[in-house]
Structures are given as structure tokens and as C-alpha cells.
């Protein structure tokens, strides 16, 4: 397995989209056509069957895509852990932590400076 994954395809091919979402959409559309053509009897039952089946196909495709994206996230996390083991820092972390420098407003005296002034005045 390579250390850096190749770029993921930005868009799936048209055929994949048709199979993934087109079949469910056609089934829902067929259900709508059934209820328009025949309002009584088989129209309502056909509508319920086709729309239910079509929405089920769309939902199962959505859930599958959601599961696959979780696998990709786990792979990226595993690669980041390998990088951390090798280099000692996370890949997106800066190598040097930024050091914050504190500055007081002019005229403010700290307890240490006050103590130093007292010693200087006595001595």
C-alpha cells in the first residue's frame, strides 16, 4: 500500500450515476404515472409499490455511499497514524509550535519588578 493515496475521482461516470440513482428515480416516476393514469384500484396500489421500491433503492444507495465514505476516512486516519509514528507529528500539524509572547501594557508593574525596585531602593 502506498504512503499517499492517489487523488479520488471528482465525479463518478454517468453510467454509475444512472445505476445508482436512475433506477430508483424511474421507479418513483412510474408510481406517479400509475396513480395519474388509474386513480382507482391498481393505480393507488401500483403507486405505493413503485414509489416504495424506488425510495428503497435510493436509500440503500445513499447508505452504501455513506458507509464507503467512512472507510475512506478510516484509511486517511490510518495513514496519518503511520506518518505520526515515522515523524513524531501529525501530517497537518506545524513542526514547531508557535510560542506566544506576552506583553504588558505600558506602565504596568509586575510583582517581580516591584520586589526588584524595593531591593534597589533599600540597597
Q: Name residues whose C-beta falls within 8 Å of residue 26's C-beta, 6 or more positions apart in sequence.
A: 54
Q: How far apart are CA 55 and CA 32, in angstroms?
A: 12
Q: pLDDT tens digit string along 37-89?
A: 887 778 888 899 999 999 999 999 999 888 888 888 888 889 888 888 887 78
Contact 57, 27 (CB under 8 A): yes
The pTM of this model reads 0.52
Q: How far apart are CA 89 and CA 65, in angstroms?
A: 31
Identify the pLDDT of residue 96.
Answer: 63
DSSP state of 9: P
Identify the pLDDT of residue 9.
Answer: 55
Identify the pLDDT of residue 44.
Answer: 86
DSSP 28-56: HHHHHHHHHH--STHHHHHHHHHHHHHHH
Q: How far apart are CA 78 and CA 18, in angstroms?
A: 33
Distances (CA, A) of 67 to 63, 71, 83: 6, 7, 25
DSSP state of 106: T
Amino acid at each position: 500500500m502506498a504512503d499517499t493515496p492517489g487523488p479520488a475521482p471528482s465525479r463518478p461516470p454517468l453510467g454509475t450515476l444512472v445505476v445508482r440513482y436512475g433506477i430508483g428515480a424511474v421507479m418513483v416516476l412510474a408510481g406517479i404515472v400509475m396513480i395519474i393514469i388509474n386513480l382507482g384500484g391498481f393505480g393507488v396500489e401500483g403507486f405505493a409499490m413503485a414509489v416504495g421500491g424506488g425510495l428503497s433503492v435510493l436509500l440503500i444507495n445513499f447508505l452504501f455511499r455513506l458507509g464507503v465514505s467512512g472507510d475512506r476516512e478510516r484509511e486517511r486516519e490510518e495513514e496519518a497514524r503511520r506518518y505520526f509514528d515515522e515523524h513524531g507529528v501529525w501530517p497537518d500539524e506545524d513542526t514547531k509550535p508557535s510560542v506566544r509572547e506576552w506583553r504588558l501594557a505600558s506602565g504596568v508593574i509586575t510583582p517581580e519588578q516591584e520586589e526588584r525596585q524595593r531591593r534597589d531602593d533599600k540597597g
